[in-house]
């Protein structure tokens, strides 16, 4: 099989080979090309040692030289070039204790996680596939290179990576590989929360997010989350929710029966989520776990408290879960009216602000803030009051009664 390879990549291979070294394209880009997907990047492996690579390319950066990786630039485009290597034991279940350079492509491929990622390609030799990764792609199978227990003992994050590849390609996880995940699920505790979150986020936003259910059937979830889940969820609904991270997470917690906001907060914090992501998940979760606003004031208040985006995501999730369909239709109609008529739903939309009040004699301070907050409630209740003269008059009345 012949692939169309970018000229920059061919240039790197030619330079390495012209100086007596072996060089191949390797890894996920081969998998993607076999699947008809245009690779996002191309990695090159070589028999040349890092210092030899640096000498051959005018512009290069030793981005991971201890592990044999040098980033070289061709026409200002970066490409990772890594020396063939073998690895020692992984005592931390994530990184090899030592890396040894090798002259064997097969030895290099043998250390990789899954067969679909353990292929190489040469423009003249074609695909080098000692572990039948191409066959597994045809069968739609995720299978480790060698014994799955050894691969997962080396790097426990690979257990989640197997699920992420399943969710990306709609492949199945080979039986021995899946059994090993179940057996070794506790090892995921040794992986940093940040790395776990990256994998979970990738599954959440994948074409088949329902594959996240594997963390329950394999037992991984009990070592990832600090709280118990009321039920083992049917995550087929996830695919129908907005393809947005906070929305998917909020829907996930809802589908697992987790409605207590403090439990949701604890789970988000334990995964070291960013403050913004955690805030949005909690906002959507509050909306989908309480009664819908049943009048214009409560609707405007909800929009003010949570924002239009989060409110819309919450409605979309409730529609997917088929909750209160008729009520949701009514709310969507009211929402369109509010937005079309440009009702005031934030302080910045009020016809008056603190500067306006100060210019008419009000003094800065807590009292001024309280007056503005009261005026905002008036406007949320009756948008027609949002006129400067009206609000200034109300402000003076409130000031007198303060």
- The CA distance from 161 to 374, in Å, is 52
Burial of 206 (0-12, 13-18, 19+ CB in 10 A): buried
Q: What mean pLDDT comes out for the span 270-277? A: 97
Q: Is 355 exposed, middle or buried (0-12, 13-18, 19+ CB in 10 A)?
A: exposed
Distances (CA, A) of 325 to 330, 357, 386: 9, 44, 32
Rounded Cα gap, residues 310 and 290, in angstroms:
14
Q: Give pLDDT tens digits for 231-254.
A: 888 899 999 999 999 999 999 999
Indicate the average pLDDT of the chain: 93
Q: Please say if the pLDDT value at position 98 is more than 70.
A: no
pLDDT tier, 90 (very low <50, low <70, confident <90, very high otherwise):
low
Cα–Cα–Cα angle for 64, 164, 67, nearest 5°?
15
Residue 359 burial (CB count, 10 A): 8
Higher pLDDT, 33 or 85: 33
Q: Give yes or no for residue 259 having a pLDDT over 60.
A: yes
> In the predicted model, is pLDDT for residue 394 greater than 50?
yes
Q: How far is CA 169 from CA 87, 116, 135, 156, 261, in A?
A: 29, 11, 15, 21, 33
- Given a cut of 60, whether residue 76 has pLDDT beyond it is yes
Q: What is the mean pLDDT of residues 254-265?
A: 96
Fold of the 143-220 domain? Hydrophobic Seed Protein (1.10.110)
Please give the pLDDT value at position 2: 78
Residue 92: its pLDDT value, please? 52
User: Is residue 211 pLDDT above 90, yes or no?
Assistant: yes
Percent with pLDDT over 70 in the chain: 97
Q: What pLDDT, on the 0 to 100 scale, is given for residue 144?
A: 98
User: Is residue 94 pLDDT above 70, yes or no?
Assistant: no
Task: Read off the pLDDT band of 88 (50, 70, 90).
Answer: very low
pLDDT at 66 over 80: no
Q: What was the pLDDT predicted at 333?
A: 94
CB neighbour list of residue 250: distance below 8 Å, 6 or more residues apart:
281, 284, 285, 288, 313, 314, 317
SS3 of residue 265 by DSSP: helix
Question: How far apart are the C-alpha atoms of 94 and 65, rounded to whole Å?
Answer: 18
The model's confidence at residue 91, banded by pLDDT at 50, 70 and 90, is low
Give 29's pLDDT tier (boundaries 50, 70, 90): very high
- DSSP secondary structure string, 117-132? G--EEETTTEEE-TT-
Which residue in this structure is represented by tokens 């997962």? 152
Task: Say how far apart CA 226 and CA 270 lie, in whole Å.
Answer: 7
Cα separation, 374 vs 104, whole angstroms? 74
Q: Determine the average pLDDT of the residues in 214-242.
A: 94
pLDDT at position 64 over 90: no
Residue 116 phi, psi dihedral angles, 5° rounding: -70, -15
What percent of the chain shows pLDDT beyond 90?
Answer: 83
Distance CA 271, CA 259 (A): 18
| Per-residue pLDDT tens over the stretch 133-160 | 999 999 999 999 999 999 999 999 999 9
Residue among 281, 292, 226 at smallest CA distance from 259: 281
Q: What is the pLDDT of residues 333-353, one digit of tens each?
A: 999 999 999 999 999 999 999
CATH code that applies to domain 1-139: 3.30.460.10
Count the neighbouring beta carbons within 10 Å of the beta carbon of residue 254. 24
Determine the average pLDDT of the residues in 181-206. 97
């Amino acid at each position: 099989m012949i692939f169309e390879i970018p000229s920059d990549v061919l240039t790197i291979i030619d330079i390495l080979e012209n100086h007596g070294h072996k060089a191949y394209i390797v890894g996920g880009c081969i998998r993607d090309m076999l699947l008809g997907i245009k690779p996002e990047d191309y990695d090159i492996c070589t028999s040349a040692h890092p210092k030899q690579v640096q000498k051959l390319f005018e512009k290069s950066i030793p981005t991971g030289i201890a592990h044999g990786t040098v980033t070289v630039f061709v026409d200002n485009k970066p490409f990772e070039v890594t020396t063939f290597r073998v690895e020692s034991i992984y005592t931390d279940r994530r990184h090899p204790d030592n890396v040894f350079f090798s002259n064997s492509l097969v030895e290099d491929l043998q250390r990789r996680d899954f067969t679909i990622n353990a292929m190489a390609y040469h423009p003249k030799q074609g695909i080098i596939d000692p572990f039948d990764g191409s066959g597994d792609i045809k069968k739609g199978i995720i299978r480790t290179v060698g014994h799955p227990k050894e691969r997962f003992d080396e790097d426990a994050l690979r257990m989640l990576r197997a699920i992420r590849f399943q969710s990306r390609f709609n492949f199945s996880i080979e039986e021995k590989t899946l059994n090993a995940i179940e057996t070794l699920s506790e090892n995921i505790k040794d992986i940093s929360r940040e790395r776990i979150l990256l994998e979970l986020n990738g599954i959440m936003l994948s074409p088949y997010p329902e594959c996240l259910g594997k963390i329950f059937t394999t037992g991984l979830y009990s070592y990832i989350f600090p709280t118990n889940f009321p039920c083992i969820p049917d995550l087929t609904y996830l695919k129908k929710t907005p393809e947005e991270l906070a929305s998917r997470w909020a829907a996930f917690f809802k589908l697992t029966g987790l409605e207590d906001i403090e439990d949701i907060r604890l789970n988000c914090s334990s995964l070291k989520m960013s403050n913004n992501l955690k805030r949005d998940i909690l906002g959507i979760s509050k909306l989908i776990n309480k009664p819908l606003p049943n009048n214009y004031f409560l609707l405007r208040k909800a929009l003010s408290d949570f924002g239009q985006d989060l409110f819309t995501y919450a409605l979309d999730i409730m529609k997917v879960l088929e909750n209160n369909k008729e009520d949701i239709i009514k709310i969507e109609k009211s929402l369109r009216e509010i937005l079309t008529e440009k009702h005031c739903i934030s302080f910045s939309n009020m016809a008056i602000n603190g500067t306006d009040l100060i210019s008419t004699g009000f003094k800065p301070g807590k009292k001024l803030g309280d007056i503005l907050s009261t005026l905002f409630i008036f406007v949320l209740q009756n948008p027609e009051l949002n006129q400067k003269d009206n609000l200034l008059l109300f402000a003076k009345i409130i000031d007198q009664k303060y």
